[in-house]
A and B are shown apart, each in its own frame.
Chain A
Amino acid sequence: MPLTDAPPSAILVERLIAPRWDNWPAALIGFLVGMPLAVAVLPPIASFWLSAVLCAVLVATLIVNAWGRYTGGLLVTPALTLLFLMNIFPLLWSFGLSFFSYHANRARAPTWVGLDNYARILNDPDIWDRLHNTVILAVLTVSTQMIVGFLLAVLFSKRFPLRRYLLILVLTPMMLSFVAVGAFFRYYYDPTFGLLSQAVRLMTGEPYILMNSVWGARAGIVIADAWMWSPFVMLLVLAGLVSVPKYLYEAAAIDRVSAWRQFWSITFPYIRGLLLLALLFRTIEAFKLFDLPFLLTQGGPGTATETIAIKVFRVAFENNKTSDSTALAYILLFTVIVLTNLYLYFANQRAKETEAP
């Protein structure tokens, strides 16, 4: 304990040499003095480990010091650091790169070109064509998923025996890997032994090649994607359907309200929010559509099913136009961020609604 009548310098010294875990100035001095000394005197291995220990002590004292005052910050720092290193930093880096001309397979240093990459991309008819493809696929898959998912939810909204187990069968596709689903559907769409072709041959006598025409290939992707993700919509809608209080339907039955009116006035308000969330979530995913077309059609026939994500992949890793691809990626990123914002806004609205008693 420092004495009250001791000179200030003595108190300072006493504080500095106190062997406590929150004594960070001492740890800092120890580190700053100890490390150069160790490097100068000791062999490299020993000096490395000594420096590491000193550094660890410094960090530990800083943490102990900040605990209590900055508990929240300390708890989230490790996770945020990793996210920064693996996600945010690369994104900022590639944002910078999108203003340079750079090819990953050439030794030439990046050269500043300003907005040229963006200007070139926005004037490139190919890019608009891929955007067009992406929008077509997104509209088709998301609308199919919403309709099928909604119907499935209605079908499963009432209790019946074994319902729990049948639900699992329907919910499984959403948990499967895109690669596995891609492989499934390649087998089913195969012109010779595929089940689809065989079924068509039963009727027409001719083998059927789905993936050869533009709309056939699109349909093939939409079917596979909708098969995979309709259960997602179903899960959300089902949560809304079972939350409708039964007495509302009983009251409606007494008043002899038509089924149509019952749906719009009673059921729909309970699932409206969830339908919107499902729509946004699936739209975000649809704009990122990569794996399924990549595995099913490789973007073909021609470029009819080449989505914007596949185009980014091709530009970056097949044409090695790294900086062009980062500029293109940022245009995709912007769309997704806007949609994510909307999603969270509505998810939040819903949370508030359900919290209210």
Chain B
Amino acid sequence: MTESITPAASVSSATTPASTSIRSLVERLGLLPASGVSEAGWGRTLLAFIVSFIYFFPVLWIILTSFKTYNDALAVPAKFIFTPTLENFLGVFNRAYSAGGPIQNTGFTLYFFNSIFIASTSVLLALVLGTVAAFGFSRYPLKGNDTYLFMILSTRMLPAIVVIIPIFIVFRVTGLAGTYAGIIALYTAFNLPFTIWMMKSFFDELSPDVEDAARLDGSSDIRVFFKICLPQVYAGLAATAVFGLILTWNEFLFALLLSGVETRTVPVAMAQTIGGDMGVRWGLLAAIETLFLIPVIIVTFALQDQLLRGVTFGTIKK
């Protein structure tokens, strides 16, 4: 923890606004649809198609399985052609536990609500606190700024299991275990390091010229933040929020130990069904997974250009 460990973002002084640099990143990565001419040659193109298909196959197969009947899902050899059914998707939320028994609520309505509610609240909170803090770190460096930033990032790199033991005891003593307030507070803290680093990397990229001009004209710090800096990083704000949502949506260990029956999230419920009564009802499990994955796949599609920055917490931009 010396001064030599300067976080990557703090030395950045790129002079392009975020939107332009995103566009140039897209161009540099060559992600725009190729203009008809294949640079790669037919052999390599074909190979890329095959490899992509193989790579995506596990996800595809789960989505296919979710449309299979109970017997089709267990068929040996595996069925590639079958009559699709929606019974699994209906069964996720309401189904009879025994043949001919009463149709009961499985609780997954609540679990999906919990996942959405907990993820969105904590991401929103982290975004408010984190953006303000990122602006502070970017524009008003403290003495030992980099040490603070390093410590913030290292809390995110820590093994979750190390943090969870004391939290578990503290939450049990204070009665926060199993409540929305407890898990939301924890997830807000879980999202903060990521939010701060991402937003700082976006703020660092802004051109200081407009800001300086506004300051010379007598704009207050608050006005500069809301009227000049924030509007320029809306895209970054959206990307950060969506990444936070995915991280929280997927999180398993904290939720396993700290959510109660009423606040259980989908990953925990899903893990319990893997070994539980649905152990052999693969179609049903696949339907839960499909419902759980679809938002993530859509978001990955939308976020492609920000993926590199997102998965490295803003430490690598290009």
A→B interface (CB under 8 Å): 67-68, 71-76, 78-80, 82-83, 85-88, 90-91, 93-94, 97, 104, 152, 155-156, 158-164, 166-180, 182-188, 192-193, 195, 198, 227, 232, 235-236, 238-239, 242-243, 274, 277, 281, 284, 287-288, 290-291, 295, 309, 312-313, 316-317, 322, 325-326, 329-330, 332-333, 336-337, 340-341, 343-345, 347-348, 350-352, 354-355
Check if B167 sits within 8 Å of A348, measured CB to CB.
no
- Residues of chain B within 8 A (CB-CB) of A158 are 39-41, 44
Instruction: Give the shortest distance, in Å, between B137 (CB) and chain A (any CB).
Output: 6
* B165 contacts A316, C-beta separation under 8 Å: yes
Chain B neighbourhood of A193, CB < 8 A: 73-76, 78, 282
With a CB–CB cut-off of 8 A, which chain A residues contact B5?
341, 344-345, 348
Given A170-B52, A184-B62, check contact A348 B296 (CB 8 Å): no
Give the interface size class of chain B. Answer: 35 or more
Q: Which residues of A contact B216 (CB under 8 A)?
A: none
Q: Are A329 and B165 in contact (CB under 8 A)?
A: yes
Chain A residue numbers with a CB within 8 Å of B210 are none
Knowing A184-B62, A187-B65 touch, does A160 contact B155 (C-beta < 8 A)?
no
**CB closest residue in chain A, given B166:** A90
* 4 interchain residue pairs of minimum CB distance: A75-B136, A72-B140, A86-B189, A90-B166
Given contacts A83-B189, A333-B159, A344-B150, is CB(A76)–CB(B136) below 8 Å?
A: yes
Contacts of A159 in B (CB 8 A): 30, 34, 37-40
Question: What is the CA–CA distance of A86 and B191 in the complex, to the nearest angstrom?
Answer: 11
Q: Find out whether the CB atom of B161 lies under 8 angstroms from the CB atom of A313.
A: yes
B304 and A171 within 8 A (CB)? yes
Q: Does B160 contact A (CB under 8 A)?
A: yes
Q: Are B40 and A179 in contact (CB under 8 A)?
A: no
Interface centre among B56, B158, B161, B257 (most CB of A within 10 A): B161
Could you tell me the distance between the alpha carbons of A82 and B48 in the complex, rounded to whole angstroms?
A: 46
- A224 to chain B: closest CB distance in Å? 9
**Residue among A76, A156, A166, A176 making CB contact with B142, cutoff 8 Å:** A76
Minimal beta-carbon separation of A158 from chain B (angstroms): 4
Looking at chain A's contact residues, the main secondary structure is helix
Fill in one digit per residue for B37-77: 1 if any A CB lies within 8 Å of its CB, else 0.
Answer: 11111001101110111011011011001000000011111
Complex formed: what's the CA distance from A85 to B307 in Å? Answer: 30
- By a beta-carbon cutoff of 8 Å, the part of chain B in contact with chain A is 1, 4-9, 11-14, 28-34, 36-41, 44-45, 47-49, 51-53, 55-56, 58-59, 61-62, 65, 73-78, 129-130, 132-133, 135-137, 139-142, 148, 150-155, 157-163, 165-170, 172, 185-186, 188-190, 192-193, 196, 221, 246, 249-250, 252-253, 257, 267, 270-271, 274, 282, 285-286, 289, 292-293, 296-297, 299-301, 304, 307-308, 311-312, 315-318
Query: Given A86, A160, A277, which contacts B316 in the complex, CB threshold below 8 Å?
Result: A277
Please determine whether A243 and B318 come into contact, CB atoms closer than 8 angstroms.
yes
- Across-interface contacts of A152 in B (CB, < 8 A): 51, 55
Chain A residue nearest to B142 (CB atoms) is: A72
